[in-house]
Amino acid sequence: MERLITGIKNLDYILGGGIPAYSLNIVSGSPGSGKTIFVQHIIFNNARNGLKSLYLTTISESQLKMVRHLQDFEFFSDDLLGDRVIYGDLGEVLRKQGASRGLDYLTQMIKEHLPNIVVIDSVKVIRDLFPDEKTFRAFVFELAAVLSIWEITAFLVGEYEEQELTRLSEFAIADGIFHLYGQEEKRFQKRYMRILKMRGTSFQYGEHLFQIGPVGIEVYPRMRPEGEELRYDVKLGRKEFGICGLDEMLCGGLLEGTITLISGATGTGKTMFALKFLLEGAEKGEKGIFLSFEEPAVQLQNTARCLGWEIDRYLAEGQLEIKFISPIELDVDKHAFEILDMIREKKVERFVIDSISSFESSVTDIQKYRDYLWAIGQHLRKRHVTTIFTVLNEDLFSPLIVSRAQLSLITDNIIILRYVEDNSSIRKVLGILKARGSDHDKSLREYEIAPEGINILGRLDKADMLK
């Protein structure tokens, strides 16, 4: 099937390679949802590939005004105007001379310029020119017939609310429907896109985040759990922490390609355990990424230096990378996709998110949070990336609460770190709750974070400490 490549980041991936050529597509959404920028981005990208577009407005908007609004976007280019991107005014003809003359004008413009793409912005304005639904429906079918005669991919842009998409006649003729909308989610005003229909090709259903920035439109596909059974090669190799007693408790380290949850209260050392795991991998030539939502890279480097770890060397050699994302700016829809992109491009073998509690705080509902982590976990397992998620347990002396989101179900291994009170002093203990596919030490072991690193000490011999 011949396709129109949109050139918009990740959109062609969602569409299975692009929009079917010569199709008639409606781009709907409320005012300000990004419809016009979406279509303009597509026509300028295609103009660079030699395709010609005819963009007809229906509100008598001047070309000068249209261009002024686009000039700051990277996709825009003055050089393409008039030759590859041609603007025209259909609205004046429709208002003064009627619908039939409007179709004649459209046909005349197509004959004159022979465009590959035609845009009518906005078709909703045309609807308002007709006295009733019956006459507008007749116009719409005639419009579809005119466009189908020529080898043209068409976009009809309109200010439609979602409830209108199933009952208005113009949607009956559409081969494809893109619906753009925004909504408030916690501290973010987000924009989403849904592809409601696309004849002749498969595409990814559901809502996809998109952003409007200096480059134009960027789409972040929905992170979704795979519906089919997860299939991947099981690796029997192990990844060590480089912490002697802990690797012994794990019978040699974490099984390769598994996901481990390190749960503990603040100050128990979750971050240090996870960082040491990456440093041990770097020592063996394995690339690792530490994604921090809590401590800036400089602070992590200082802490590691204090423990005598050679973090600067591995950062300089590119074996280790620390990415800090402020939890204030964390947008899980965008960052979850970027994380997987980064892991694939850099061929990462060890990966840490510190902490996924920050993920949770940026997602509106707990089910969506679980779905994200489940989807990320599936992708990481398929790529055999050995992963650690840290999670904050807010109760300093709590019993065995791993997390309120029941994340234990999506992880292969669980390590708990917690405080215990003993003779008016506070001690730290470590235990392995779960190690899927492997034997492990069931005892509780005291540990300390000392100037020379992390030391696993003897067994905790007091009974009922974890009740």
pLDDT tens profile 85-137 = 999 988 888 888 888 788 999 999 999 999 999 999 988 888 888 888 888 88
* Mean pLDDT to the nearest integer, 376-388: 90
* Mean pLDDT to the nearest integer, 48-61: 88
Domain boundary among 185, 219, 253: 219
The mean-pLDDT minimum among 98-102, 257-261, 429-433 falls in: 98-102
Confidence of residue 15 (pLDDT cuts 50, 70, 90): very high
Give the orientation angle of helix 366-382 with respect to helix 332-346, to 10 degrees.
10
Res. 255: pLDDT tops 70: yes
The predicted pLDDT at position 188 comes to 67
Examine residue 230 and state whether it is found in any structural domain, yes or no. no
Closest to 254 in 3D by CA, of 244, 240, 243: 240
Res. 289: pLDDT tops 80: yes
In a shared domain, residues 171 and 318: no
Examine residue 397 and state whether it is found in any structural domain, yes or no. yes
Residue 246: how many other CB atoms lie within 10 Å: 24
Residue 298: how many other CB atoms lie within 10 Å: 10
Q: How far is CA 458 from CA 276, 277, 289, 445, 452, in A?
A: 20, 21, 32, 6, 18
The mean-pLDDT minimum among 53-57, 72-76, 342-346, 371-375 falls in: 371-375
The predicted pLDDT at position 11 comes to 96
The amino acid at residue 456 is I
In a shared domain, residues 171 and 63: yes
The predicted pLDDT at position 414 comes to 93
Res. 247: pLDDT tops 70: yes
In a shared domain, residues 295 and 198: no
DSSP 456: E
The rounded percent of the chain whose pLDDT value lies above 90 is 52
In a shared domain, residues 196 and 316: no
Examine residue 159 and state whether it is found in any structural domain, yes or no. yes
In a shared domain, residues 91 and 154: yes
The predicted pLDDT at position 232 comes to 61
Q: Environment class of residue 458 by beta-carbon count within 10 Å: exposed (0-12), middle (13-18) or buried (19+)?
A: exposed
DSSP 9: B
* Mean pLDDT to the nearest integer, 316-334: 84
Task: Say which residue, 402 or 414, is predicted with more confidence.
Answer: 414
Q: To the nearest 5 percent, what fractions of the chain are helix, strand and coil?
A: 35, 30, 35
The predicted pLDDT at position 187 comes to 63
**Arithmetic mean of pLDDT over the chain:** 87
The predicted pLDDT at position 133 comes to 87
When divided into structural domains, the chain yields a total of 2
Res. 466: pLDDT tops 70: no
Domain boundary among 219, 249, 266: 219
In a shared domain, residues 156 and 57: yes
> Residue holding tokens 């950062």?
315
In a shared domain, residues 215 and 363: no
The predicted pLDDT at position 377 comes to 86
* Mean pLDDT to the nearest integer, 338-355: 90
CATH value at residue 112: 3.40.50.300
Examine residue 227 and state whether it is found in any structural domain, yes or no. no
Confidence of residue 376 (pLDDT cuts 50, 70, 90): confident
Confidence of residue 252 (pLDDT cuts 50, 70, 90): very high
pLDDT tens profile 141-156 = 999 988 888 889 999 9
Res. 34: pLDDT tops 70: yes
Closest to 283 in 3D by CA, of 253, 309, 250: 309
In a shared domain, residues 442 and 385: yes
Could you tell me the residue range of the domain that residue 360 belongs to?
238-459
DSSP 388: E
- Write down the pTM of the prediction: 0.74
Residue 111: how many other CB atoms lie within 10 Å: 9
* Mean pLDDT to the nearest integer, 462-467: 56
* Mean pLDDT to the nearest integer, 391-416: 70
* Mean pLDDT to the nearest integer, 260-274: 93
Task: Say which residue, 369 or 45, is predicted with more confidence.
Answer: 45
Closest to 391 in 3D by CA, of 383, 378, 400: 400
